[in-house]
Amino acid sequence: MSIEAEVIEILKRARAAAGSIALARSDQKNAALTALAKRIRVSEREILDANRADLERALAKGANSAFVERLSLNPDRIVAIARSVEEVAALPDPVGAIIENFDRPNGLKIEKWRVPLGLIAIIYESRPNVTIDAAALCIKSGNAVVLRGGSEALSSNQRLSGLVSDSLAASGLASEAATFVGNPDREAIQVMKRHPELIDLIIPRGGHTLKAALQNSAVPLLPHFDGICHTYVDRAADLKMAEDICVNAKCSRPSVCNAMETMLVHSAVAESFLPAVASRMIKAGVEIRGDDRTRKIVPEARAASEADWDAEYLDLVLAVKVVDSLDEAITFIERHGSHLADAIVTGDHSAADRFQREVDSATVYVNASTRFTDGFEFGFGAETGISTNRLHARGPMGLRELTTYKYVISGNGQVRG
């Protein structure tokens, strides 16, 4: 069977399941999710064995430490994955909620109902937890989902997706409502993007390679691509607070998209702030790449190139630039950022207000780490991705972001004149 025929057959089965999962009762969907969380917990050994096989292949190919970190599972991460499924099960079901209702002068009663999107394809790389997060959110929001993970996590993803299918079937729901594309050939992505009659939405999570692969997609995209996040330390910042925020934003988990990649520091506080924060960063293993003014204050810093201002390192590397004003910081962020998450540290309310209003990112922080840009941290239970799009949804995508709406109109014989 050709790759195209194989993928189309998968999509047709998932499409057929979309109608039934859209009409599933909340208790049915919650039962499937509860069963899935239990299966994840009792299958820890098998999941870790599958993940170990993925890690061995990645290391044999010379994968860097950041890549390996994203790919790795351990007992704590498996518990966290199971807990995220339980969190989703505990959330209110968005399907069927009445968003608004109103009456017209002619007696028509108009209601706006929240409904599933249909069949969603989620294409992602490296992180096997996405298999479960995405499946759980799609099931709860009444959507069928086709999961296409990267070849580097194939064993982990196949094991995890099998648990999803088993949990659906055991709860009386169609197992094809969550389907995994196991063929690692990238041609599978090309097939998926050519079939809007089968797929309603593609949510891609990845970097430049995935972005290029999905160019000219006939299926609508809601992308989660680059995460070039900034923290601006203002002249009115509490410098100890700024130090803690910046170290957390860079060092707590540098391989994820909400980690800080560039730190901007106002020239009025640079000489006071940079030595202390640089010392902590360097002790944590961070390589600092700075502009000329940064390097005069932090001699250990390497010279930053123009490419560094546009880099998503996903590693213990940090670009640092000294700026002379809030205006310069905002302009820099708008030019070089990816509009995923950006932060200001300041005690000046007017500066904070301007930053919130003028920085056009999906999540904008005042006096907090960009690392909070996450569905779990926002109370969504999990996320299918962090959208930097401007249409339909922005930021962490939870249950409501996986629905659309329809108008339901009730009358008593009205006709239009």
pLDDT tens by residue, 292-334: 999 999 999 999 999 999 999 999 999 999 999 999 999 999 9
- The mean per-residue pLDDT over the stretch 211-219 comes to 92
Contact 258, 229 (CB under 8 A): yes
Q: Are 28 and 171 in contact (CB under 8 A)?
A: yes
Q: Please, which residues have CB within 8 angstroms of residue 24's CB and are 6 or more apart in sequence?
A: 142, 173
Asked whether residue 106 is assigned to any structural domain, the reply reads yes
- 139 with 85: CB under 8 angstroms? no
CATH number of the domain within which 341 lies: 3.40.309.10
Given a contact cutoff of 8 angstroms between Cβ atoms, the answer to whether 42 and 82 are in contact is no
Band of residue 342 on the pLDDT scale cut at 50, 70, 90? very high
Alpha helices in 252-348 (DSSP H): 267-283, 292-297, 326-336
pLDDT score for 349: 98
Q: What percent of the chain has pLDDT over 90?
A: 89
Proportion of the chain above pLDDT 70, given as a percent: 100
Residue 389 counted as domain residue: no
Q: What is the CATH number of the domain that holds 175?
A: 3.40.605.10
**pLDDT value of residue 322:** 98
214 and 250 inside one domain: no
Return the H-helix or E-strand segment holding 200: none
Per-residue pLDDT of 260-272, as tens digits, reads 999 999 999 999 9
Helix H, strand E, coil C: the string for 90-145 is: HCCCCCCCEEEEEECCCCCEEEEEEEECCEEEEEECCCCHHHHHHHHHHHHCCCEE
Contact 219, 192 (CB under 8 A): yes
pLDDT score recorded for residue 134: 95
Q: φ, ψ for residue 160 (rounded to 5)?
A: -65, -40
185 and 261, same domain (yes or no): no
pTM: 0.88
Q: Is the CB of residue 194 less than 8 Å from the CB of residue 201?
A: no
Whether 338 and 189 map to the same domain: the answer is: no
Give yes or no: residues 88 and 123 share one domain: yes
Q: 215 with 297, same domain?
A: no
For 357, counting Cβ atoms within 10 Å of its Cβ (0-12 exposed, 13-18 middle, 19+ buried), the class is exposed
The least confident of 79-93, 273-287, 290-304, 379-393 is 379-393
| Inside any domain, residue 45 | yes
Q: What is the mean pLDDT of residues 177-188?
A: 95
Does 388 reside within a domain? no
Q: Does residue 285 sit in the same domain as residue 186?
A: no
CB proximity list for 281: less than 8 A, separation 6 or greater? 246, 247, 250, 251, 288, 318
* 216 and 235 inside one domain: no
- Averaged confidence pLDDT in the chain: 95
Please give the residue range of the domain that contains residue 302.
Answer: 229-372
409 phi, psi to nearest 5 deg: -120, 130
- Are residues 212 and 272 both part of a single domain? no
Structure tokens at 258: 């909400």
What integer pLDDT is reported at residue 389 of this predicted model? 84
Q: Which two tokens stand for residue 364?
A: 């904008």
Query: Per-residue pLDDT tens for 219-236?
Result: 999 977 789 999 999 999
Asked if 381 and 395 touch (Cβ cutoff 8 Å), the reply is no
Is 337 a member of any domain? yes
